[in-house]
């Protein structure tokens, strides 16, 4: 099989929480992950729990206010993908992250398969607003702000467990996977579907798969190469190899 470093066609990248840990945002399932250290926190990500439990919603707004992503800046891994695209390579990113660090780093082709944390949406009427504005309502004394249009429940524009993914985002992700000659899976446990299955879609379409993750994943068997180094060092090195630096 041809060395993946010599492939000149489109590059698809699937990123998970691990790419943002160097920016001060903890992952979920790692040894120091949010859900590992606080199992109750996983309840905040479950749609039915959120809708049915007002006390859980109050805790969710506090968690949104305190999310480290507000203060985070892109790290060397995010910047490496920008450098790859700036060098003329066709790079499209599918991210499971909601922190928008890829966009803040300068990446232009990004599919947010799980939404983002910077907007809110009403589950009843579809009203949208900025998260910052809604958190101002929380700070002013409204611990569980309701929709100003219909009095419905507001939530972050994030896909929670138990919710359907945006079909437009899924179609875009599949198209990226199907048209990639090289597919990088970076900082993701590849345990959450259908995001993880993009690896299989890419391989079935002829791409070579490179996985950069600290722990084994269910898709390791399909990989042309597996990298266990810290992502902040590994991804810039891989990009340099792709560019022949």
Sign of CA dihedral 104, 105, 109, 111: negative
Through-space distance between the first and last CA atoms of the chain, rounded to whole angstroms: 23
CA dist 181 and 208 (Å) reads: 6
Cβ 187 vs Cβ 18: under 8 Å: yes
In the residue annotation, 78 being an active-site residue is answered as no
141 SS3 class: coil
CA dist 173 and 154 (Å) reads: 27
Q: Say if residue 131 is preceded by a cis peptide, omega within 30 of 0.
A: no
Tokens standing for residue 188: 């993701």
CA dist 227 and 229 (Å) reads: 6
Among 78, 102, 114, 164, the one annotated catalytic: 114
Give me the half-sphere count of Cα atoms (radius 13 Å) on the Cβ side of residue 134: 28
C-alpha distances (whole Å) from 158 to each of 9, 32, 174, 216, 230 are 32, 22, 20, 27, 27
DSSP per residue, 75-126? -HHHHHHHHHHHTT--EEEEE--SS-HHHHHT---EEETTEEEEEEEETTT-
Active site residues per annotation: 114
């Amino acid at each position: 099989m041809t060395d993946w470093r010599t492939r000149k066609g489109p590059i698809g990248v699937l990123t998970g929480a691990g790419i943002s840990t160097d920016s001060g945002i903890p992952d979920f399932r790692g040894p120091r992950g949010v859900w590992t250290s606080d199992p109750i926190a996983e309840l905040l990500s479950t749609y039915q729990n959120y809708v049915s439990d007002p006390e859980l919603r109050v805790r969710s707004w506090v968690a949104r206010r305190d999310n480290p992503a507000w203060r985070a800046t892109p790290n060397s891994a995010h910047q490496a993908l920008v450098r790859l695209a700036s060098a003329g390579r066709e790079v499209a990113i599918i991210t499971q992250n909601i922190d928008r660090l890829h966009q803040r780093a300068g990446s232009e082709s990004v599919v947010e398969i799980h939404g983002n944390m910077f907007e809110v949406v009403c589950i009843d009427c579809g009203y949208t607003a900025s998260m910052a504005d809604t958190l101002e309502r929380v700070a002013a004394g409204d611990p569980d702000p309701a929709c100003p249009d219909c009095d419905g429940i507001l939530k972050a524009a994030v896909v929670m467990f138990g919710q359907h993914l945006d079909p437009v985002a899924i179609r875009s992700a599949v198209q990226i996977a199907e048209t990639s000659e090289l597919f990088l899976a970076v900082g993701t446990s590849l345990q959450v579907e259908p995001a993880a299955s993009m690896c299989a879609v890419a391989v079935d379409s002829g791409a070579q798969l490179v996985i950069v993750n600290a722990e084994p994943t269910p898709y390791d068997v399909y990989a042309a190469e597996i990298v266990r180094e810290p992502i902040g060092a590994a991804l810039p090195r891989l990009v340099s190899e792709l560019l022949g630096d």
